[in-house]
Amino acid sequence: MAAIDVIGLTAERAAAMLRAGECSSEELAGAYLERIEAFDPALHAYLHVDPELTLAAARTQDQSGNVGLAGVPIAYKDLLSTKGVPTTAGSKILEGFIPLEDADVVARGNAAGLVSLGKTNLDEFAMGSSTEHSAYGPTRNPWDQTRVPGGSSGGSAAVVAAGLAPWSLGTDTGGSIRQPAAFCGLVGLMPTYGTVSRFGVVAFACSLEQVGPMTLTVRDCALLQQVIAGGSERDATCVGLREPIVLPEPGRLDGVRFGVPWAELEDGVDPGIRERFDASLKLATELGAELVDVELPYARHGLAAYYVIAPAEASANLSRFDGVRYGLRVDGPDLRSMYEATRSAGFGPEVKRRIMIGTYALSAGYHDAYYVQAQRVRTLIRRDFDAAFLGVDAILLPTAPTTAFPMGARMDDPLAMYANDIFTLPVNLAGIPALSIPNGLVEGLPSGLQIIGAAHTENTLLRFGAAFEQAIGFDPVPPTLRGGAA
């Protein structure tokens, strides 16, 4: 088999190589599988890899002629159901679960001819910002293996950064695509709520989450969004795209107005992150854009509102794990003790914490003070964004206030872990799209620039992203992995 150097290989280039007959899909998948074998034992980014299944799928694509993106490999977050292939959501309670159907996004990937390399690690039920809450052990950051890759889609980020997949799908409920993309030097898109089907996504907080691409380039991000976005009759909240996703070309930003919410940057942002953010603002003006002060006065209450709404929805969604129809069962003398023993053994500490917060916030006497009040704040955050977008084309913020933190650093302080999503979760509360792109290194670690837009402005965000991407000139290959040494 020809040795193909896949580190840093974009999906766009891989598709071109396949179409030109420079390699077969089987050879390409084989090259990734070799790297997975060499590097994944240290990173622990994949939860499930089945080389025979992958190579068989690749051969099928080779036989059909590899048109479009056909034959390009991909990795799927293990929150996405895959027919006949184990899907755990990072939880012991779903160990051994084999879905009967593919998630819509996986079915769309299959229809486009994408070849699955496997399922990636995540914080249990996508609850976390470091992938340390996976019941199957943490994933390490390819840029620095003593640090977290971010989360909850940390496995999906690590595999792309380490060249163990050309691109991947993650899910984003409060920053779970954008923050790991920022921590691992990738592009990540949180799409407008309702443009991508959630059918077959193991549910955490239905009103907040979307599936989205994690890629090496903005153009790959657009290509993958073209594959996964679109209406579905299997998800009643999926209205699809208002306009087709266009492949962006880098260019200038003349006449573009970017909003900067200065007040949100006043505290809690690491100086190195702030420096990179300020440098990107300078680039924006050099490209012809204008910076405009915007105010998002309720965004600072997003963290509190989010940690009522998301756990409340989670406590309801996770009630389905009862030891009856699927997953783990721990027996007891009666039904209720079986429920309690099963859920106690099957859920990890962070999931229990969120179920408890959500149940408390929804319980009699507290519902109005917590849940309804949080929903009012959600209204005000939406209004803040609506008002800001009357005067600007997009809002710029750092994706996360820090770079990747050391493993274990925040495990004993849930609030400090939650606070890492301070700049991402208002976007989920508002249901609007945001693109995170690499914004250079801070002491050797990637940082992210977040470009936030009004609903259904993905094409605008991708165009801005492509302009920044070219101007920033970031190399997404970690130095220790350069040269394809396996």
Partner 1 sequence: MSAERIELGPDEVRHVATLARLGLDDAEVERLAGELETILGHVATISALPIADVPPTAHSLDVAGALREDVAKPGVTREQALANAPDPSVDGFRVPPIGS
Question: What are the two backbone dihedrals, phi and then psi, of residue 229, each rounded to the nearest 5 degrees?
Answer: -80, 150
The most distant pair of C-alpha atoms in the chain lies apart, rounded to whole Å, by 71
Q: Is the dihedral of CA 155, 156, 160, 165 positive or negative?
A: positive
Beta strand segments in 53-133, E: 73-77, 115-120
**Cβ 98 to partner 1, closest distance in Å?**
6
CB of 275 to partner 1, least distance (A): 24
CA 332 to CA 120: how far, in whole Å?
Answer: 33
CB of 429 to partner 1, least distance (A): 8
- Is residue 431 within the footprint of partner 1 (CB under 8 A)? yes
Q: Are 97 and 80 in contact (CB under 8 A)?
A: no
Given the residues 168, 176, 197, 280, the one annotated as active site: 176
Q: Phi/psi class of residue 231: alpha, beta or left (left: φ > 0; alpha: ψ in -120 to 50)? A: beta
Q: Verify binding: residue 441, partner 1, rule CB under 8 A.
A: no
Residue with tokens 């939880």: 91
Nearest to 108 by CA among 176, 24, 197: 197
Residue 317 binds partner 1, judged by CB under 8 A:
no
Q: Is 285 in the site for partner 1 (CB under 8 A)?
A: no
Helix, coil or strand: residue 439: strand
Tell me if residue 176 is catalytic. Answer: yes
Count of residues that interact with partner 1, criterion CB under 8 A? 70
Q: Is residue 375 close enough to count as binding partner 1 by CB under 8 A? A: yes
Q: How far is the CB of 177 from partner 1 (least distance, A)?
A: 17
Tell me the β-bridge partners of 74: 116
Question: Which residue out of 24, 25, 77, 447 is catalytically annotated?
Answer: 77
User: Applying CB under 8 A, does 377 fall inside the site for partner 1?
Assistant: yes
Nearest CA to 385 out of 451, 435, 436, 430 is that of 430
Is 379 one of the binding residues for partner 1 (CB under 8 A)?
yes
Number of H helices, E strands in the chain: 16, 11
Does the protein bind partner 1 through residue 107 (CB under 8 A)?
A: no
100 touches partner 1 (CB under 8 A): yes
Between residues 100 and 390, which has the closer beta carbon with respect to partner 1?
100
* Strand arrangement of the beta sheet that strand 290-293 belongs to: 46-48, 115-120, 73-77, 167-172, 210-215, 187-190, 434-442, 445-452, 394-398, 257-260, 290-293
Give the bridge partners for 229, in sequence order. 196
* The amino acid at 58: A
DSSP state of 369: I
334 binds partner 1 (CB under 8 A): yes
To the nearest whole angstrom, how small is the minimum distance from the Cβ of residue 385 to partner 1? 10
Residues 161-200 that bind partner 1 (CB under 8 A): 193-194
- Residue among 91, 116, 134, 152 flagged as catalytic: 152
Applying CB under 8 A, the span of 151-159, 219-227, 246-254, 414-422 interacting with partner 1 comes to 414-422
Q: Is 125 in the site for partner 1 (CB under 8 A)?
A: no
Given 48, 276, 301, 463, the residue binding partner 1 (CB under 8 A): 301
Closest CB to partner 1 among residues 246, 324: 324
**Smallest distance, Å, CB 305 to partner 1?**
6
Q: Are strands 290-293 and 115-120 parallel, antiparallel or unpaired?
A: unpaired
Does position 359 interact with partner 1 (CB under 8 A)? The reply is yes
Closest distance of CB 77 from partner 1, Å: 20
> Among residues 207, 283, 292, 484, which is the contact residue for partner 1, using CB under 8 A?
207
Contact 227, 108 (CB under 8 A): yes
CA atoms within 13 A on the CB side of 427: 36
Q: Provide φ and ψ at 277, rounded to 5°.
A: -65, -45
- By the rule CB under 8 A, 373 interacts with partner 1: yes
Binding of partner 1 at residue 315 (CB under 8 A)?
yes
Per CB under 8 A, residues contacting partner 1 are 96-98, 100, 193-194, 207, 233, 236-237, 239, 301, 303-305, 307-308, 315, 319, 322-329, 331-341, 343-344, 347, 352-353, 355-357, 359-361, 363, 369-370, 372-380, 382, 414-415, 418-419, 429-432
Catalytic residues: 77, 152, 176
